[in-house]
Structure 1
Amino acid sequence: MKEYKVVVLGSGGVGKSALTVQFVTGTFIEKYDPTIEDFYRKEIEVDSSPSVLEILDTAGTEQFASMRDLYIKNGQGFHPGLQPGQPAVVSAVHTHPVLQDIRPMRDQIVRVKRFEKVPLILVGNKVDLESEREVAGSDGRALAQEWGCPFIETSAKSKTMVDELFAEIVRQMNYSTLPEKQEQCCTACVIQ
């Protein structure tokens, strides 16, 4: 069974932990409790191949920003988010300033990994809060296109596209073209 290390990055309060816990346990965390660092493990099947995801849910506050280099160095995939290869970035779609936080996170991933085409998925979380939305889906898609990565809108609360997100992270890591000298160990997901 193939193992993948996923790092979930994003600003504080964008739903990184809620997405991760929803994926791993099938439950939604109602109360916001800032994370310092949590580790999860889950077996899944993607495209008929069994896989194990080791997911590092990181702190979103600047207080722990110095730890990001270590997370990124040890990750294979990254899941960056909007609400807030191999990185994932998560952000929230209901707060526009989060977009300003995402570029530096991706730049940091590229700097630490020393490779421009790291597996990365840009995530727009909290789509269930449509009436409070400040970030247009077209903005997320445009940024993802600029970076050459997928963009997925999710909701941890309604479990919208949560399983699909983590399956896509595995696909991105499988199709990654990291240089042979580069040891593949982690992926990140950025959530806004």
Structure 2
Amino acid sequence: MALPTKSSILNLLLNKQCARSPEESYEAWAQCKNAGRKLPEYKVVVFGASGVGKSALTIQMTHHCFVKEHDPTVQDCYWKEVALDNSDYILNVLDTAGLYSDQCLEAGDAVLGVFALDDPSSLDQLQQIWSTWSLQQKQPLPLVLLGNKCDLVTTSEDAHTDAAILT
């Protein structure tokens, strides 16, 4: 399933956290709202080293709030209805909680690799995980790199330069 490629601004419409599984939660909602009409679904897996802000980014996107304290060992899933290019989609987001799992990455249509700009080693860890996993795949998933925590960068020893080399 290919992601929409035409550039557009996402109109984030609905905030919901998965109550049970993403499929059960979405199906219940879709039957109410759309009288059985099922929207196209895209699954994004958010992964990276522990403490880089994966959960904070995911919760900010789906709930529009910043959570200062979060249990880093909990894997969560969230979903959101988005409008892109005059079409509605369901975006399922799996927050992997810093734990690397082949099964998590294989479940996605795309991957959001998160690293902390104030911690260059988090980019190294991300590269290592991705290169190991992608070598095993027949068709690699699209990967978007996201440098987080730019507000915490205090030295020239950050991951900006290393990340720029990867693009």
Which TM-score applies when normalising by structure 2?
0.70
Other-structure match for 1:71: 104
Local SS of the residue matching 1:45: strand
State the shift of 1:26 in Å: 0.3
Q: Is the alpha carbon distance of 1:77 and 1:111 closer, same or farther for their aligned partners in structure 2, counting shifts above 3 Å?
A: same
Local SS of the residue matching 2:120: coil
The reply to whether residue 126 of structure 1 matches residue 159 of structure 2 is no
The reply to whether residue 19 of structure 1 matches residue 43 of structure 2 is no
Q: Is the alpha carbon distance of 1:133 and 1:22 closer, same or farther for their aligned partners in structure 2, counting shifts above 3 Å?
A: farther
Structure of higher CA gyration radius: 2
The one-character-per-residue Cα deviations of 1:163-183 (angstroms, maximum 9, x if unpaired) are xxxxxxxxxxxxxxxxxxxxx
Aligned residue type for 2:121 = P
Other-structure match for 2:26: none
Give the Cα–Cα distance (whole angstroms) in 2 for the partners of residues 134 and 32 of structure 1.
Answer: 27
Unaligned runs of 5+ in 1: 81-89, 146-192
The one-character-per-residue Cα deviations of 1:36-87 (angstroms, maximum 9, x if unpaired) are 3101010111233211111110021xxx43xx1110111111000xxxxxxx
Give the Cα–Cα distance (whole angstroms) in 1 for the partners of residues 152 and 144 of structure 2.
Answer: 21
Q: How many residues were matched structurally?
A: 129
State the shift of 1:15 in Å: 0.2
Q: 1:73–1:112: 8 Å Cα contact kept in structure 2?
A: no
Local SS of the residue matching 2:73: coil
Q: Is the alpha carbon distance of 1:78 and 1:37 closer, same or farther for their aligned partners in structure 2, counting shifts above 3 Å?
A: same
Aligned residue type for 2:107 = N
Matches within 5 A, 1:20-169: 20-60=58-98, 64-65=99-100, 68-80=101-113, 90-116=114-140, 118-131=141-154, 134-143=157-166, 145=167
Q: Is the alpha carbon distance of 1:47 and 1:20 closer, same or farther for their aligned partners in structure 2, counting shifts above 3 Å?
A: same
Which TM-score applies when normalising by structure 1?
0.61
Q: 1:93–1:134: 8 Å Cα contact kept in structure 2?
A: no
The one-character-per-residue Cα deviations of 1:102-136 (angstroms, maximum 9, x if unpaired) are 112212341343224x2110110011213256324
Aligned residue type for 2:162 = D
CA RMSD in angstroms comes to: 1.8
Unaligned runs of 5+ in 2: 1-38
Aligned residues with identical type, % of pairs: 38
